[in-house]
Chains A and B, each alone.
Chain A
């Protein structure tokens, strides 16, 4: 599986937007970009995924670069509940396993 690179940690103020970057320069044409997050002492939670176009759902937005070598997860208005480790994962179509890296630990400052 192609690798992803994320900052180890980020901080953001409560009620402000958060932009979490992910680099995936070796992405292939059939790799989907998935984001999961893991709150403390819980299992991972699906956030969003996309292939080429930007995606929005009730939790977040995913902005994908035109060359697909990077993407950004956008939380529009961070709350304390959004404090978690965020994982950017490339998932090859038809490959069932998720390959987790070390993710970005997001801290929300009240």
Chain B
């Protein structure tokens, strides 16, 4: 069974560019979560999505960040007009049914903003 897949694994952007991070959940999983880990810090929840719906975006910055999980294809975390403070590791997790099911994490995308 393939686990959670994220791509790219590493992404370099200049200030002002857009970053698109992709997450393919485990087979059969319809719940996706995004977390961000700043250097030397713990992971912080960003957003929780089910297919075509955002369930909880309480951890998302108010501007420049958006997430989607379309009916077909991977979940996308989009960061517009990136700034140096966006440099971090972004992890995606998936679960089968939500409601306190175990979350399985991907290997992360490491974003570096120059």
Contact = CB atoms under 8 A, between A and B. Distances in A.
A93, A98, A101, A102 — which one has the most chain B CB atoms within 10 A of its CB? A98
A42 to B, nearest CB: 6
A43 B100 CA distance: 19
Interface stretch (B12-20, B66-74, B80-88, B101-109): B101-109
Contacts of B98: 96
Interface of B: 4, 31, 33, 35, 41-45, 48, 55-56, 58-59, 91, 93, 98-100, 102-108
A75 B5 CA distance: 28
B107 A96 contact: no
Contact residue range for chain A?
20 to 34
Interface in A71-108: 87, 91, 93-103
Contact of B43 (A49, A94, A96, A98): A98
Interface string A58-75: 000000000000000000
A98 B42 contact: no
B48 A96 contact: yes
Contact of A103 (B42, B44, B102): B42
List the 5 closest pairs (A to B, CB-CB), nearest first: A43-B105, A100-B42, A97-B45, A100-B43, A44-B105
A101 B93 CA distance: 17
A43 B107 contact: yes
Nearest to B92: A43
Contacts of B106: 43
A45 interface: yes
Given A91-B100, A94-B100, A96-B56, A102 B42 contact: yes
Given A32-B100, A97-B56, 4 more contacts: A43-B91, A96-B98, A96-B100, A98-B43
